[in-house]
């Protein structure tokens, strides 16, 4: 029997503010068990590639509901792999990109480290805030999508027994500063 790689991402949500709650459309993303040969057969992966994509990019919905209007900040907490990604398994990495953000049904820009965009990656240790027009976006309801993309080092996919790759992390909401 060929060894399979099991890929699981566990995501949770917590609020640093008692008056806000976060909901995720999926708390766990689980890719089907896959062999190294199946990974290599995917169009985006090549035999000589340094990294192999674990599967298709997946979008999850995120929603933040607060009791009172406020300026919000979102953060993803998990062990860092590098500046713009989180550790996935022992040597892989996962990137989470927030996009299509609306606050009280109005489009919002994402702001971090002096940059503003309609889509932005969560980065370890950094917080994303939101803008509308000339200032900070305030409201009671934020909704958006988080695109999750995971990679594994090519050599690490050569396994002799079933191997599980995981990322456990949590989203946190807090007041924007």
Does position 177 have pLDDT exceeding 50, yes or no? yes
1 band by pLDDT with thresholds 50, 70 and 90: very low
pLDDT at 92: 86
Does position 129 have pLDDT exceeding 60, yes or no? yes
Indicate the burial class of 11 (C-beta count within 10 angstroms; 0-12, 13-18, 19 or more): buried
Which region among 29-38, 88-97, 115-124 has the lowest average model confidence (pLDDT)?
Answer: 29-38
Spatial CA neighbour of 126 closest among 85, 94, 90: 85
Domain residue ranges in the chain: 20-26+33-155+170-175
Q: pTM (2 decimals)?
A: 0.85
pLDDT tens digits for range 13-56: 555 544 888 999 887 777 777 777 888 888 787 777 788 888 78
Q: What DSSP designation does 40 have?
A: H
């Amino acid at each position: 029997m060929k060894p399979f790689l099991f890929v699981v991402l566990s995501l949770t949500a917590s609020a640093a503010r008692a008056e806000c709650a976060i909901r995720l459309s999926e708390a766990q993303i689980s890719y089907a068990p896959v062999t190294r040969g199946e990974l290599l057969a995917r169009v985006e992966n090549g035999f000589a590639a340094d990294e192999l994509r674990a599967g298709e990019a997946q979008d999850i919905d995120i929603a933040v509901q607060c009791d009172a209007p406020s300026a919000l900040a979102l953060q993803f907490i998990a062990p860092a792999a590098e500046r713009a990604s989180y550790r996935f398994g022992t040597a892989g990495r996962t990137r989470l990109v927030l996009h299509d953000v609306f606050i009280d049904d109005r489009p919002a820009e994402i702001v971090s480290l002096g940059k503003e965009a309609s889509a932005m990656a969560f980065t370890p240790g950094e917080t994303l805030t939101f803008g509308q027009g000339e200032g900070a976006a305030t409201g009671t309801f934020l909704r958006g999508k988080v695109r999750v993309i995971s990679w594994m080092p090519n050599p690490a996919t050569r396994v002799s027994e079933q191997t599980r790759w995981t990322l456990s992390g949590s989203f946190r909401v807090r007041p924007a500063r």
